[in-house]
A and B are shown apart, each in its own frame.
Chain A
């Protein structure tokens, strides 16, 4: 079967810093892959490279078997129609009410778009009463739900989740994780999430990959994560300061 997303040898450098260094990973249709890794290891950059927001220096990015690295103009726009994205901070447009945020990419008359936005609000467990509020009037958890509603509004076949639970309390984070799992299953979406929250990993992932120093150093099904012998993975999932992962500027 052709992978839905396939990255081969992707490299990206910012100045003197090599962020991605031969990154290779693939996501199969309908699969939920979670990439774990410490802060600054290039997780968000890899998502933005797939979306064409950041150009890559070397390597190949294929979506449904089609090379997408280097796409421009209308071809790049068409490529992006396949994706929804939940940004780390929600990235809701402050100047627009909730319903216009959700229906931003939907065509049609305002009344139809508003009705579609309210449908999507219901999918993420929010009522129509929040439709006319501004993002600043919502709690962090509600903002994440609205951002999730916006990401699924056009029913994209692929959704990216960038640190979906960052900044949320554990209970709200668990609610968001369950919501993501339900949506991915119900809408038969291919999901690629990046996080360093292990609770998210266990709730969202079918398969897990670990990114370190710009490349995937381990990947496998969720069930094999706890028994993994890779010292980097073990240190990461146990949150230990002892191990091969050195934090820059931090003495062990």
Chain B
């Protein structure tokens, strides 16, 4: 009986400990970000790395997914004479869900892993200790700029993702499915609402926060040499994926559930 309780209790305690450590890390990062000194050059560099360098992967994902979505809606809609809903459903599907979620997942795969690997390497090669001995707070120099940059640039990436996703659908619909271009765009415009875009941008900011937080958290607490850095990288990607999908569900239910 006791052995069974221990078997259940140990992982539960470990999970609560991990959540507590992560929460403390996030609070420390956020409070230090508000206090000087600030490092604008670090912030600009991270905005470039996270935003500009993620554009190709986010853009390609959006175009391919938007096109595939339009094709699927056309096939599915044809079964009950609703093939004309392609522009409306594509724009709602892309802007509310696929644009932010797939954009977030692609950025997480690229950025969270890179952050975890970089900070993890800095941890195991004592560069983070060196920062401290040089009177520089790693939270202000390393963590803060990454989190802020991710929160700031993710909405722009998702805007691009949304636009390219809709464009992918339009391209396929007009080139392969026989839709009239002007009519398609007019329908798209008619069914796209401000709330759709706003929820998309809110999701993007939240996803950006989780991506950078998980990348920095796992990298910062990395240990055990190269294998430890590898584990940190994997954990950063997996945990940011889970948090993106979970927070997407929560925001979707809050914004569109009523």
Contacts and interface: CB of A to CB of B under 8 A. Distances in A.
A104 B131 CA distance: 9
A166 interface: no
A88 B136 contact: no
A184 B176 CA distance: 77
Contacts of A83: 133
A53 B130 contact: no
A91 B135 contact: no
A87 B130 contact: yes
A77 B135 CA distance: 6
Nearest to B132: A53
Contacts, number: 40
Contact of B129 (A53, A92, A94): A53
B130 A91 contact: yes
B127 interface: yes
A93 B136 contact: no
Per DSSP, chain A at the interface is loop
B125 interface: yes
Interface in A93-110: 93-94, 104-105
Nearest to B124: A89
A85 B130 contact: yes
Contacts of A80: 132-133, 135
Interface string B127-148: 1011111111000000000000
Interface string A56-97: 000000000000000000000100110111011101111000
A93 B135 contact: no
Nearest to B133: A85
Given A81-B135, A105-B136, A93 B126 contact: no
A48 B133 CA distance: 10
Interface of A: 48, 51, 53, 77, 80-81, 83-85, 87-89, 91-94, 104-105, 150
Closest 10 A/B residue pairs (Cβ): A91-B130, A91-B126, A105-B134, A87-B126, A85-B133, A91-B127, A104-B134, A89-B125, A53-B129, A77-B135
20 contacts: A48-B129, A51-B133, A53-B129, A53-B132, A53-B133, A80-B132, A80-B135, A85-B130, A85-B133, A87-B130, A88-B126, A89-B125, A91-B129, A91-B130, A92-B127, A92-B130, A93-B130, A93-B131, A105-B134, A105-B136
